[in-house]
Structure 1
Amino acid sequence: MSLSVSAVPPLLPAASYEYRTVRPVHHGHMGEPRTDVLAAEEPLEISLVYGPEEARRRRTLAVTMRTPGDDAALAAGFLLTEGIIQHKAELRAVVPCPDVTKAEERGNVIRAELVPGIVFDEARLERHFYTSSSCGVCGKTSIEAVQAASCPVLPAPAPLLPAALVHELPQRLRAAQAVFDQTGGLHAAALFRPAGELLLTCEDVGRHNAVDKLVGHALLRDWLPLHALVLLVSGRASFELVQKAAVAGLPVLAAVGAPSSLAVQAAEQFGLTLLGFVRDNRFNIYTHPERITG
Protein backbone atom coordinates (compact mmCIF):
# COMPACT_ATOMS: atom_id res chain seq x y z
CA MET A 1 0.00 0.00 0.00
CA SER A 2 1.38 3.40 -0.98
CA LEU A 3 0.11 6.53 0.72
CA SER A 4 2.46 8.99 -0.89
CA VAL A 5 -0.40 10.74 -2.71
CA SER A 6 -0.99 14.28 -1.49
CA ALA A 7 -4.32 13.80 0.27
CA VAL A 8 -6.39 16.91 -0.31
CA PRO A 9 -9.98 16.51 0.95
CA PRO A 10 -12.32 16.06 -2.04
CA LEU A 11 -14.27 19.21 -2.82
CA LEU A 12 -17.97 18.72 -3.37
CA PRO A 13 -19.48 20.54 -6.38
CA ALA A 14 -21.94 23.40 -6.23
CA ALA A 15 -24.72 20.81 -6.57
CA SER A 16 -23.88 19.72 -3.02
CA TYR A 17 -25.77 22.62 -1.52
CA GLU A 18 -28.71 24.90 -2.25
CA TYR A 19 -29.61 28.45 -1.24
CA ARG A 20 -33.01 29.20 0.31
CA THR A 21 -34.60 32.24 1.91
CA VAL A 22 -35.50 31.73 5.56
CA ARG A 23 -37.04 33.83 8.35
CA PRO A 24 -35.01 33.51 11.55
CA VAL A 25 -36.78 33.65 14.91
CA HIS A 26 -34.93 34.62 18.10
CA HIS A 27 -36.61 34.48 21.49
CA GLY A 28 -40.05 34.63 19.85
CA HIS A 29 -39.25 37.61 17.61
CA MET A 30 -39.36 37.30 13.82
CA GLY A 31 -36.20 38.52 12.11
CA GLU A 32 -35.62 39.79 8.60
CA PRO A 33 -35.42 37.28 5.73
CA ARG A 34 -31.94 36.01 5.00
CA THR A 35 -30.28 33.49 2.71
CA ASP A 36 -29.48 30.10 4.20
CA VAL A 37 -27.44 27.25 2.74
CA LEU A 38 -28.89 23.73 2.75
CA ALA A 39 -27.09 20.44 2.14
CA ALA A 40 -28.40 18.94 -1.11
CA GLU A 41 -30.00 15.50 -1.01
CA GLU A 42 -30.80 13.58 -4.19
CA PRO A 43 -31.21 9.90 -5.07
CA LEU A 44 -28.36 8.00 -6.70
CA GLU A 45 -29.09 4.78 -8.55
CA ILE A 46 -26.14 2.40 -8.67
CA SER A 47 -26.44 0.19 -11.75
CA LEU A 48 -24.30 -2.93 -12.07
CA VAL A 49 -23.10 -4.35 -15.42
CA TYR A 50 -21.58 -7.83 -15.23
CA GLY A 51 -21.26 -11.17 -16.99
CA PRO A 52 -19.26 -12.51 -19.96
CA GLU A 53 -18.40 -10.14 -22.80
CA GLU A 54 -20.90 -11.77 -25.17
CA ALA A 55 -23.77 -11.72 -22.66
CA ARG A 56 -23.49 -8.65 -20.44
CA ARG A 57 -26.27 -8.12 -17.91
CA ARG A 58 -27.39 -4.96 -16.19
CA ARG A 59 -29.19 -4.70 -12.85
CA THR A 60 -30.08 -1.90 -10.50
CA LEU A 61 -28.05 -2.70 -7.41
CA ALA A 62 -29.19 0.04 -5.03
CA VAL A 63 -30.77 3.46 -4.74
CA THR A 64 -29.39 5.65 -1.97
CA MET A 65 -30.12 9.21 -0.92
CA ARG A 66 -26.84 11.10 -1.05
CA THR A 67 -25.16 14.47 -1.40
CA PRO A 68 -24.12 14.86 -5.08
CA GLY A 69 -20.40 14.62 -5.64
CA ASP A 70 -17.87 11.77 -5.36
CA ASP A 71 -20.46 9.46 -6.94
CA ALA A 72 -17.87 7.15 -8.53
CA ALA A 73 -16.11 6.74 -5.18
CA LEU A 74 -19.44 6.15 -3.45
CA ALA A 75 -20.37 3.40 -5.93
CA ALA A 76 -16.92 1.77 -5.76
CA GLY A 77 -16.92 1.84 -1.97
CA PHE A 78 -20.44 0.41 -1.86
CA LEU A 79 -19.45 -2.49 -4.13
CA LEU A 80 -16.47 -3.28 -1.92
CA THR A 81 -18.16 -2.96 1.46
CA GLU A 82 -21.17 -4.97 0.29
CA GLY A 83 -18.95 -7.80 -0.97
CA ILE A 84 -19.67 -7.54 -4.71
CA ILE A 85 -15.96 -6.95 -5.44
CA GLN A 86 -12.80 -7.65 -3.50
CA HIS A 87 -10.24 -5.66 -5.49
CA LYS A 88 -10.01 -2.62 -7.74
CA ALA A 89 -8.90 -4.89 -10.61
CA GLU A 90 -12.41 -6.38 -10.74
CA LEU A 91 -13.82 -3.01 -11.85
CA ARG A 92 -13.74 -2.13 -15.53
CA ALA A 93 -15.30 1.31 -15.07
CA VAL A 94 -17.49 3.43 -12.81
CA VAL A 95 -19.12 6.14 -14.90
CA PRO A 96 -22.29 8.27 -15.04
CA CYS A 97 -24.92 6.36 -16.96
CA PRO A 98 -25.20 7.93 -20.45
CA ASP A 99 -28.56 6.48 -21.48
CA VAL A 100 -30.97 7.88 -18.90
CA THR A 101 -34.36 8.86 -20.32
CA LYS A 102 -35.69 11.32 -17.74
CA ALA A 103 -34.28 14.78 -17.10
CA GLU A 104 -34.38 14.29 -13.32
CA GLU A 105 -32.25 11.15 -13.65
CA ARG A 106 -29.43 13.01 -15.37
CA GLY A 107 -26.41 12.92 -13.07
CA ASN A 108 -28.24 10.67 -10.62
CA VAL A 109 -27.51 7.26 -12.16
CA ILE A 110 -24.04 5.74 -12.03
CA ARG A 111 -22.97 2.58 -13.80
CA ALA A 112 -20.42 0.21 -12.31
CA GLU A 113 -19.04 -2.27 -14.83
CA LEU A 114 -17.33 -5.44 -13.66
CA VAL A 115 -14.54 -7.09 -15.62
CA PRO A 116 -15.90 -10.04 -17.66
CA GLY A 117 -15.32 -13.30 -15.87
CA ILE A 118 -15.83 -11.97 -12.34
CA VAL A 119 -17.92 -14.57 -10.53
CA PHE A 120 -20.11 -13.76 -7.55
CA ASP A 121 -23.32 -15.01 -6.03
CA GLU A 122 -26.07 -13.30 -8.00
CA ALA A 123 -28.54 -14.13 -5.25
CA ARG A 124 -26.86 -11.33 -3.30
CA LEU A 125 -28.37 -8.87 -5.77
CA GLU A 126 -31.86 -9.89 -4.70
CA ARG A 127 -31.21 -8.77 -1.14
CA HIS A 128 -28.19 -7.46 0.70
CA PHE A 129 -26.13 -9.82 2.84
CA TYR A 130 -27.65 -8.64 6.10
CA THR A 131 -30.80 -6.77 7.01
CA SER A 132 -31.04 -3.55 8.96
CA SER A 133 -31.81 -3.43 12.66
CA SER A 134 -35.42 -2.55 11.87
CA CYS A 135 -35.92 -5.99 10.27
CA GLY A 136 -35.51 -7.85 13.53
CA VAL A 137 -32.68 -10.20 12.53
CA CYS A 138 -30.61 -11.20 15.53
CA GLY A 139 -27.11 -9.85 15.96
CA LYS A 140 -25.39 -13.23 15.69
CA THR A 141 -27.09 -13.92 12.35
CA SER A 142 -26.17 -10.47 11.01
CA ILE A 143 -22.51 -10.78 11.98
CA GLU A 144 -22.20 -14.29 10.53
CA ALA A 145 -23.78 -13.06 7.28
CA VAL A 146 -21.26 -10.24 7.02
CA GLN A 147 -18.34 -12.56 7.76
CA ALA A 148 -19.56 -14.84 4.97
CA ALA A 149 -19.39 -11.82 2.64
CA SER A 150 -15.59 -11.58 2.97
CA CYS A 151 -15.31 -9.47 6.09
CA PRO A 152 -11.97 -10.61 7.54
CA VAL A 153 -10.78 -10.66 11.11
CA LEU A 154 -8.25 -7.85 11.31
CA PRO A 155 -4.58 -8.75 11.71
CA ALA A 156 -2.36 -7.96 14.66
CA PRO A 157 -0.24 -6.14 15.57
CA ALA A 158 -1.98 -2.90 14.72
CA PRO A 159 -0.92 0.73 15.06
CA LEU A 160 -0.75 2.14 18.58
CA LEU A 161 -2.76 5.32 18.95
CA PRO A 162 -1.99 7.71 21.82
CA ALA A 163 -5.08 8.65 23.83
CA ALA A 164 -4.02 12.31 23.81
CA LEU A 165 -4.09 12.27 20.01
CA VAL A 166 -7.57 10.73 19.89
CA HIS A 167 -8.86 13.84 21.67
CA GLU A 168 -7.55 16.02 18.80
CA LEU A 169 -9.08 14.07 15.89
CA PRO A 170 -12.62 15.57 15.99
CA GLN A 171 -11.28 19.12 15.73
CA ARG A 172 -9.02 18.15 12.85
CA LEU A 173 -11.98 16.58 11.08
CA ARG A 174 -14.20 19.57 11.80
CA ALA A 175 -11.63 21.92 10.30
CA ALA A 176 -11.75 19.92 7.05
CA GLN A 177 -15.56 19.87 6.69
CA ALA A 178 -15.87 22.53 4.01
CA VAL A 179 -19.54 22.01 3.17
CA PHE A 180 -20.58 21.47 6.79
CA ASP A 181 -19.32 24.96 7.53
CA GLN A 182 -21.89 26.28 5.07
CA THR A 183 -24.82 23.97 5.76
CA GLY A 184 -24.42 22.33 9.18
CA GLY A 185 -26.25 19.32 7.72
CA LEU A 186 -23.66 16.76 6.65
CA HIS A 187 -21.97 13.73 8.14
CA ALA A 188 -18.24 13.32 7.68
CA ALA A 189 -15.75 10.48 7.66
CA ALA A 190 -11.98 10.83 7.72
CA LEU A 191 -8.86 8.71 7.46
CA PHE A 192 -5.93 9.52 9.75
CA ARG A 193 -2.46 8.13 10.19
CA PRO A 194 -1.73 6.99 13.77
CA ALA A 195 0.42 10.12 14.16
CA GLY A 196 -2.67 12.27 13.52
CA GLU A 197 -2.11 13.32 9.89
CA LEU A 198 -5.40 13.75 8.05
CA LEU A 199 -5.24 11.86 4.74
CA LEU A 200 -8.74 12.08 3.36
CA THR A 201 -12.21 13.27 4.33
CA CYS A 202 -15.63 12.86 2.71
CA GLU A 203 -19.02 14.40 3.50
CA ASP A 204 -22.58 13.31 2.79
CA VAL A 205 -26.09 13.61 4.18
CA GLY A 206 -25.84 9.88 4.93
CA ARG A 207 -23.14 8.69 7.31
CA HIS A 208 -22.94 5.33 5.51
CA ASN A 209 -22.45 7.15 2.19
CA ALA A 210 -19.63 9.26 3.66
CA VAL A 211 -17.80 6.09 4.68
CA ASP A 212 -18.46 4.40 1.32
CA LYS A 213 -17.08 7.47 -0.48
CA LEU A 214 -13.98 7.35 1.70
CA VAL A 215 -13.46 3.61 1.14
CA GLY A 216 -14.14 4.07 -2.57
CA HIS A 217 -11.41 6.72 -2.86
CA ALA A 218 -9.01 4.40 -1.04
CA LEU A 219 -9.93 1.53 -3.34
CA LEU A 220 -9.46 3.59 -6.52
CA ARG A 221 -6.08 4.86 -5.23
CA ASP A 222 -4.85 1.32 -4.47
CA TRP A 223 -4.55 2.02 -0.74
CA LEU A 224 -6.39 -1.09 0.46
CA PRO A 225 -6.18 -2.76 2.89
CA LEU A 226 -6.07 0.16 5.32
CA HIS A 227 -4.32 -1.73 8.12
CA ALA A 228 -2.23 1.27 9.20
CA LEU A 229 -4.97 3.93 9.38
CA VAL A 230 -7.73 5.17 11.68
CA LEU A 231 -11.32 5.99 10.68
CA LEU A 232 -13.19 8.80 12.43
CA VAL A 233 -16.91 9.40 11.82
CA SER A 234 -18.83 12.48 12.90
CA GLY A 235 -21.93 10.65 14.17
CA ARG A 236 -22.72 7.44 15.99
CA ALA A 237 -21.16 4.05 15.27
CA SER A 238 -23.66 1.58 13.83
CA PHE A 239 -23.18 -2.08 12.97
CA GLU A 240 -23.01 -1.15 9.27
CA LEU A 241 -20.14 1.28 9.83
CA VAL A 242 -18.18 -1.31 11.79
CA GLN A 243 -18.72 -3.77 8.93
CA LYS A 244 -17.55 -1.26 6.30
CA ALA A 245 -14.46 -0.39 8.34
CA ALA A 246 -13.56 -4.06 8.80
CA VAL A 247 -13.97 -4.85 5.08
CA ALA A 248 -11.57 -1.98 4.29
CA GLY A 249 -9.06 -3.39 6.79
CA LEU A 250 -9.27 -0.50 9.23
CA PRO A 251 -8.08 -1.48 12.73
CA VAL A 252 -9.59 1.50 14.59
CA LEU A 253 -13.01 3.14 14.25
CA ALA A 254 -13.59 6.26 16.34
CA ALA A 255 -17.01 7.88 16.52
CA VAL A 256 -18.06 11.23 17.92
CA GLY A 257 -21.36 9.65 18.97
CA ALA A 258 -22.44 6.45 20.68
CA PRO A 259 -22.03 2.90 19.35
CA SER A 260 -24.92 0.46 19.19
CA SER A 261 -24.78 -2.86 21.04
CA LEU A 262 -24.47 -4.77 17.77
CA ALA A 263 -21.66 -2.46 16.63
CA VAL A 264 -19.72 -3.37 19.78
CA GLN A 265 -20.44 -7.08 19.32
CA ALA A 266 -19.29 -6.97 15.69
CA ALA A 267 -16.15 -4.94 16.47
CA GLU A 268 -15.15 -7.44 19.14
CA GLN A 269 -15.60 -10.35 16.75
CA PHE A 270 -13.85 -8.68 13.80
CA GLY A 271 -10.85 -7.65 15.89
CA LEU A 272 -11.53 -3.92 15.50
CA THR A 273 -10.86 -1.27 18.15
CA LEU A 274 -14.07 0.74 18.60
CA LEU A 275 -14.09 4.15 20.30
CA GLY A 276 -17.23 6.10 21.12
CA PHE A 277 -18.15 9.55 22.45
CA VAL A 278 -14.88 10.98 21.12
CA ARG A 279 -15.54 14.59 22.08
CA ASP A 280 -14.93 17.14 24.82
CA ASN A 281 -11.59 15.54 25.75
CA ARG A 282 -13.07 12.17 26.59
CA PHE A 283 -13.93 8.87 24.90
CA ASN A 284 -14.81 5.28 25.72
CA ILE A 285 -12.91 2.23 24.46
CA TYR A 286 -15.43 -0.54 23.77
CA THR A 287 -13.29 -3.25 22.15
CA HIS A 288 -9.63 -4.22 21.76
CA PRO A 289 -8.09 -1.52 23.99
CA GLU A 290 -4.57 -2.80 23.28
CA ARG A 291 -4.29 -0.40 20.32
CA ILE A 292 -4.69 2.71 22.53
CA THR A 293 -1.80 3.95 24.67
CA GLY A 294 -2.20 6.10 27.76
Structure 2
Amino acid sequence: MVLEFEKPIADLELKLQEMIQLANEKNIDLSSDIQSLEEKLQLLKKETFHNLTRWQRVQLSRHADRPYALDYIYEMTNDFIELHGDRTVKDDKAMIGGLGDIDGRSVMFIGQQKGRNTKLRQERNFGMANPEGYRKALRLMKMAEKFNKPIITLIDTPGAYPGIEAEERGQGEAIAKNLREMFKLKVPVICIIIGEGASGGALGIAIGDKVMMLENSWYSVISPENCSTILWRSWDHKEQAAEALKLTGTDMKNNGLVDAIIEEPLGGAHRNMSDMAARIKAKIKEALVELDKMKVDKRIEKRIEKFCAMGIVQE
Protein backbone atom coordinates (compact mmCIF):
# COMPACT_ATOMS: atom_id res chain seq x y z
CA MET A 1 0.00 0.00 0.00
CA VAL A 2 1.39 3.37 -1.07
CA LEU A 3 -0.17 6.57 0.19
CA GLU A 4 -0.53 9.55 -2.15
CA PHE A 5 2.32 11.52 -0.59
CA GLU A 6 4.57 8.43 -0.68
CA LYS A 7 4.35 7.99 -4.48
CA PRO A 8 7.50 10.03 -5.33
CA ILE A 9 9.42 7.88 -2.82
CA ALA A 10 7.96 4.66 -4.27
CA ASP A 11 8.92 5.76 -7.80
CA LEU A 12 12.49 6.45 -6.73
CA GLU A 13 12.70 3.13 -4.87
CA LEU A 14 11.53 1.33 -8.02
CA LYS A 15 14.12 3.15 -10.09
CA LEU A 16 16.82 2.16 -7.59
CA GLN A 17 15.76 -1.50 -7.69
CA GLU A 18 15.83 -1.47 -11.49
CA MET A 19 19.32 0.04 -11.50
CA ILE A 20 20.61 -2.57 -9.05
CA GLN A 21 19.00 -5.36 -11.10
CA LEU A 22 20.54 -4.00 -14.32
CA ALA A 23 23.97 -3.81 -12.73
CA ASN A 24 23.72 -7.43 -11.57
CA GLU A 25 22.30 -8.82 -14.82
CA LYS A 26 24.66 -6.97 -17.20
CA ASN A 27 27.65 -7.03 -14.83
CA ILE A 28 27.98 -3.25 -15.13
CA ASP A 29 29.60 -1.06 -12.49
CA LEU A 30 26.88 1.41 -11.52
CA SER A 31 27.98 1.78 -7.90
CA SER A 32 28.41 5.57 -8.07
CA ASP A 33 24.99 6.04 -9.68
CA ILE A 34 23.38 3.67 -7.17
CA GLN A 35 25.00 5.50 -4.25
CA SER A 36 23.85 8.86 -5.64
CA LEU A 37 20.30 7.57 -6.01
CA GLU A 38 20.32 6.09 -2.49
CA GLU A 39 21.39 9.45 -1.08
CA LYS A 40 18.70 11.21 -3.05
CA LEU A 41 16.11 8.71 -1.81
CA GLN A 42 17.17 9.15 1.82
CA LEU A 43 16.98 12.93 1.49
CA LEU A 44 13.52 12.72 -0.08
CA LYS A 45 12.29 10.49 2.75
CA LYS A 46 13.55 12.90 5.39
CA GLU A 47 11.98 15.91 3.66
CA THR A 48 8.68 14.06 3.23
CA PHE A 49 8.26 12.46 6.64
CA HIS A 50 9.62 15.34 8.70
CA ASN A 51 7.09 17.74 7.18
CA LEU A 52 3.87 15.74 7.19
CA THR A 53 0.53 17.49 7.59
CA ARG A 54 -1.82 16.38 10.34
CA TRP A 55 -4.04 14.57 7.83
CA GLN A 56 -1.04 12.71 6.40
CA ARG A 57 -0.15 11.49 9.90
CA VAL A 58 -3.74 10.27 10.28
CA GLN A 59 -3.30 8.35 7.03
CA LEU A 60 -0.06 6.79 8.28
CA SER A 61 -1.75 5.77 11.54
CA ARG A 62 -4.18 3.71 9.42
CA HIS A 63 -1.62 2.23 7.04
CA ALA A 64 -2.58 -1.34 6.13
CA ASP A 65 0.88 -2.62 7.11
CA ARG A 66 1.11 -0.71 10.39
CA PRO A 67 1.80 -2.98 13.39
CA TYR A 68 -1.09 -3.67 15.75
CA ALA A 69 -1.12 -4.30 19.48
CA LEU A 70 -0.46 -8.06 19.28
CA ASP A 71 2.41 -7.49 16.83
CA TYR A 72 4.19 -5.32 19.38
CA ILE A 73 3.36 -7.59 22.32
CA TYR A 74 4.74 -10.72 20.64
CA GLU A 75 7.83 -8.78 19.54
CA MET A 76 8.50 -7.43 23.04
CA THR A 77 7.78 -10.66 24.95
CA ASN A 78 8.57 -14.35 24.58
CA ASP A 79 5.81 -15.81 26.71
CA PHE A 80 2.64 -13.78 26.25
CA ILE A 81 -0.45 -15.55 27.61
CA GLU A 82 -3.70 -14.07 26.33
CA LEU A 83 -6.62 -14.01 28.76
CA HIS A 84 -10.22 -14.00 27.58
CA GLY A 85 -13.73 -12.98 28.56
CA ASP A 86 -15.46 -10.44 30.79
CA ARG A 87 -17.20 -13.19 32.86
CA THR A 88 -20.56 -11.62 32.00
CA VAL A 89 -21.36 -11.69 28.26
CA LYS A 90 -18.55 -12.97 26.04
CA ASP A 91 -14.96 -12.50 24.87
CA ASP A 92 -14.68 -9.28 22.84
CA LYS A 93 -12.08 -9.87 20.10
CA ALA A 94 -11.57 -6.12 19.59
CA MET A 95 -10.05 -5.85 23.07
CA ILE A 96 -7.11 -8.10 23.88
CA GLY A 97 -5.16 -8.61 27.07
CA GLY A 98 -2.90 -10.94 28.95
CA LEU A 99 0.34 -11.42 30.85
CA GLY A 100 3.73 -11.03 29.24
CA ASP A 101 7.34 -10.80 30.30
CA ILE A 102 9.50 -7.73 29.63
CA ASP A 103 13.12 -8.61 30.37
CA GLY A 104 12.22 -10.72 33.37
CA ARG A 105 9.35 -8.60 34.66
CA SER A 106 5.75 -9.77 34.30
CA VAL A 107 3.29 -7.09 33.14
CA MET A 108 -0.36 -7.00 32.11
CA PHE A 109 -0.89 -5.95 28.50
CA ILE A 110 -4.26 -4.58 27.37
CA GLY A 111 -5.03 -3.16 23.94
CA GLN A 112 -7.34 -2.80 21.00
CA GLN A 113 -6.69 -5.12 18.06
CA LYS A 114 -7.63 -4.67 14.40
CA GLY A 115 -7.59 -7.31 11.66
CA ARG A 116 -5.34 -7.73 8.63
CA ASN A 117 -7.95 -9.02 6.20
CA THR A 118 -11.71 -8.80 5.72
CA LYS A 119 -12.48 -11.85 7.87
CA LEU A 120 -10.24 -10.74 10.74
CA ARG A 121 -11.49 -7.16 10.54
CA GLN A 122 -15.03 -8.41 11.03
CA GLU A 123 -13.94 -10.75 13.82
CA ARG A 124 -12.09 -7.90 15.56
CA ASN A 125 -14.93 -5.46 14.76
CA PHE A 126 -12.37 -3.09 13.21
CA GLY A 127 -10.85 -2.48 16.66
CA MET A 128 -14.11 -1.09 18.06
CA ALA A 129 -14.84 -2.70 21.41
CA ASN A 130 -18.27 -3.43 22.85
CA PRO A 131 -19.07 -2.96 26.57
CA GLU A 132 -17.82 -6.47 27.30
CA GLY A 133 -14.45 -5.46 25.86
CA TYR A 134 -14.08 -2.63 28.38
CA ARG A 135 -15.33 -4.90 31.16
CA LYS A 136 -12.75 -7.49 30.17
CA ALA A 137 -10.07 -4.79 30.24
CA LEU A 138 -11.15 -3.73 33.73
CA ARG A 139 -11.20 -7.34 34.94
CA LEU A 140 -7.61 -7.76 33.78
CA MET A 141 -6.58 -4.45 35.36
CA LYS A 142 -8.01 -5.59 38.69
CA MET A 143 -6.20 -8.91 38.32
CA ALA A 144 -2.94 -7.05 37.68
CA GLU A 145 -3.55 -4.93 40.77
CA LYS A 146 -4.22 -8.03 42.89
CA PHE A 147 -0.93 -9.63 41.88
CA ASN A 148 1.03 -6.33 41.79
CA LYS A 149 1.74 -6.34 38.05
CA PRO A 150 2.23 -3.09 36.08
CA ILE A 151 -0.35 -2.39 33.37
CA ILE A 152 0.59 -1.46 29.79
CA THR A 153 -2.23 -0.38 27.46
CA LEU A 154 -1.78 -0.12 23.68
CA ILE A 155 -4.47 2.08 22.17
CA ASP A 156 -5.54 1.81 18.53
CA THR A 157 -9.23 2.32 17.83
CA PRO A 158 -11.52 4.46 15.63
CA GLY A 159 -13.82 4.57 18.68
CA ALA A 160 -15.99 2.37 20.85
CA TYR A 161 -18.60 0.41 18.89
CA PRO A 162 -21.62 2.73 18.40
CA GLY A 163 -24.23 0.05 17.64
CA ILE A 164 -27.63 -0.12 19.32
CA GLU A 165 -26.79 -3.45 20.98
CA ALA A 166 -23.66 -1.90 22.53
CA GLU A 167 -25.73 0.93 23.99
CA GLU A 168 -28.30 -1.58 25.26
CA ARG A 169 -25.55 -3.42 27.15
CA GLY A 170 -24.23 -0.21 28.71
CA GLN A 171 -21.41 1.12 26.55
CA GLY A 172 -21.28 4.49 28.30
CA GLU A 173 -21.42 2.94 31.76
CA ALA A 174 -18.63 0.47 30.97
CA ILE A 175 -16.27 3.19 29.73
CA ALA A 176 -17.15 5.55 32.60
CA LYS A 177 -16.47 2.80 35.15
CA ASN A 178 -13.08 2.15 33.54
CA LEU A 179 -12.17 5.82 33.85
CA ARG A 180 -13.12 5.89 37.52
CA GLU A 181 -11.35 2.66 38.40
CA MET A 182 -8.17 3.40 36.45
CA PHE A 183 -7.59 6.54 38.51
CA LYS A 184 -7.50 4.38 41.65
CA LEU A 185 -5.31 1.48 40.46
CA LYS A 186 -2.43 0.86 42.88
CA VAL A 187 0.00 -0.42 40.26
CA PRO A 188 1.89 1.63 37.64
CA VAL A 189 -0.17 2.26 34.49
CA ILE A 190 1.48 3.18 31.17
CA CYS A 191 -0.72 4.04 28.18
CA ILE A 192 0.62 4.24 24.61
CA ILE A 193 -1.38 5.36 21.55
CA ILE A 194 0.08 3.24 18.74
CA GLY A 195 -2.33 4.19 15.95
CA GLU A 196 -5.76 5.75 16.18
CA GLY A 197 -6.93 7.18 19.49
CA ALA A 198 -10.52 8.25 18.99
CA SER A 199 -12.96 9.50 21.57
CA GLY A 200 -14.07 7.61 24.69
CA GLY A 201 -13.21 4.35 22.97
CA ALA A 202 -9.54 5.25 23.39
CA LEU A 203 -9.91 7.00 26.74
CA GLY A 204 -11.54 3.89 28.23
CA ILE A 205 -8.08 2.32 28.59
CA ALA A 206 -5.97 5.50 28.57
CA ILE A 207 -5.96 6.79 32.15
CA GLY A 208 -2.38 6.27 33.26
CA ASP A 209 0.65 7.58 35.11
CA LYS A 210 2.43 7.95 31.79
CA VAL A 211 0.59 8.56 28.52
CA MET A 212 2.66 8.39 25.33
CA MET A 213 2.01 8.57 21.60
CA LEU A 214 3.84 7.15 18.62
CA GLU A 215 5.04 9.85 16.23
CA ASN A 216 2.47 9.02 13.55
CA SER A 217 -0.51 8.30 15.78
CA TRP A 218 -3.41 10.63 16.61
CA TYR A 219 -5.55 11.28 19.67
CA SER A 220 -8.77 13.26 19.60
CA VAL A 221 -12.38 13.44 20.73
CA ILE A 222 -13.48 12.76 17.13
CA SER A 223 -12.02 11.61 13.82
CA PRO A 224 -11.36 14.20 11.08
CA GLU A 225 -14.00 12.60 8.84
CA ASN A 226 -16.74 12.71 11.47
CA CYS A 227 -15.78 16.23 12.45
CA SER A 228 -16.03 17.26 8.80
CA THR A 229 -19.43 15.57 8.52
CA ILE A 230 -20.78 17.48 11.52
CA LEU A 231 -19.43 20.89 10.53
CA TRP A 232 -19.67 20.77 6.74
CA ARG A 233 -22.15 17.90 6.13
CA SER A 234 -19.46 16.19 4.05
CA TRP A 235 -16.18 14.25 4.39
CA ASP A 236 -14.57 16.59 1.83
CA HIS A 237 -13.16 18.87 4.54
CA LYS A 238 -11.41 16.13 6.55
CA GLU A 239 -7.96 17.66 5.97
CA GLN A 240 -9.16 21.02 7.26
CA ALA A 241 -10.79 19.27 10.22
CA ALA A 242 -7.55 17.44 11.05
CA GLU A 243 -5.70 20.76 11.16
CA ALA A 244 -8.36 22.32 13.39
CA LEU A 245 -8.46 19.34 15.79
CA LYS A 246 -4.69 19.49 16.45
CA LEU A 247 -4.57 15.75 17.04
CA THR A 248 -0.93 14.79 16.52
CA GLY A 249 1.57 13.83 19.18
CA THR A 250 3.26 17.23 18.98
CA ASP A 251 -0.09 18.98 19.47
CA MET A 252 -1.02 16.74 22.38
CA LYS A 253 2.33 17.22 24.12
CA ASN A 254 2.24 20.99 23.64
CA ASN A 255 -1.22 21.04 25.23
CA GLY A 256 -0.08 18.90 28.16
CA LEU A 257 -2.32 15.96 27.24
CA VAL A 258 0.45 13.37 26.79
CA ASP A 259 3.83 12.97 28.46
CA ALA A 260 6.04 11.83 25.58
CA ILE A 261 6.23 11.12 21.86
CA ILE A 262 7.98 7.95 20.72
CA GLU A 263 9.84 8.57 17.47
CA GLU A 264 9.13 6.12 14.64
CA PRO A 265 11.58 4.71 12.08
CA LEU A 266 11.84 6.92 8.99
CA GLY A 267 8.73 6.26 6.89
CA GLY A 268 6.57 4.99 9.74
CA ALA A 269 6.37 2.10 12.20
CA HIS A 270 5.50 -0.37 9.42
CA ARG A 271 8.90 0.18 7.81
CA ASN A 272 10.69 -1.52 10.69
CA MET A 273 8.40 -3.15 13.23
CA SER A 274 11.22 -4.72 15.26
CA ASP A 275 12.91 -1.36 15.69
CA MET A 276 9.61 0.27 16.65
CA ALA A 277 8.88 -2.45 19.22
CA ALA A 278 12.36 -1.98 20.70
CA ARG A 279 11.74 1.76 21.06
CA ILE A 280 8.39 1.17 22.78
CA LYS A 281 9.95 -1.44 25.08
CA ALA A 282 12.75 0.96 26.06
CA LYS A 283 10.21 3.69 26.91
CA ILE A 284 8.16 1.25 28.99
CA LYS A 285 11.21 0.14 30.98
CA GLU A 286 12.31 3.74 31.48
CA ALA A 287 8.85 4.74 32.74
CA LEU A 288 8.62 1.75 35.09
CA VAL A 289 11.95 2.63 36.71
CA GLU A 290 10.58 6.11 37.45
CA LEU A 291 7.16 4.93 38.65
CA ASP A 292 8.57 2.16 40.87
CA LYS A 293 10.33 4.81 42.97
CA MET A 294 7.03 6.42 43.92
CA LYS A 295 4.83 5.36 46.82
CA VAL A 296 1.40 4.05 45.83
CA ASP A 297 -0.57 6.93 47.35
CA LYS A 298 1.69 9.52 45.75
CA ARG A 299 1.45 7.82 42.36
CA ILE A 300 -2.36 7.80 42.48
CA GLU A 301 -2.41 11.42 43.64
CA LYS A 302 -0.18 12.53 40.75
CA ARG A 303 -2.27 10.52 38.26
CA ILE A 304 -5.43 12.32 39.38
CA GLU A 305 -3.70 15.71 39.39
CA LYS A 306 -2.38 15.13 35.86
CA PHE A 307 -5.85 14.66 34.37
CA CYS A 308 -7.52 17.31 36.53
CA ALA A 309 -5.00 19.86 35.20
CA MET A 310 -6.02 19.25 31.59
CA GLY A 311 -8.07 21.83 29.75
CA ILE A 312 -8.99 25.43 30.49
CA VAL A 313 -11.66 26.53 32.94
CA GLN A 314 -13.19 30.00 32.96
CA GLU A 315 -15.44 31.17 35.76
Shorter-chain TM-score: which interval? under 0.3
- Give the TM-score of the pair, scaled to structure 2: 0.24
- Give the TM-score of the pair, scaled to structure 1: 0.25
- Larger relative strand fraction: 1
| Structure with the greater alpha carbon radius of gyration | 2
Higher relative CO (Cα under 8 Å, sequence separation at least 6) belongs to 1
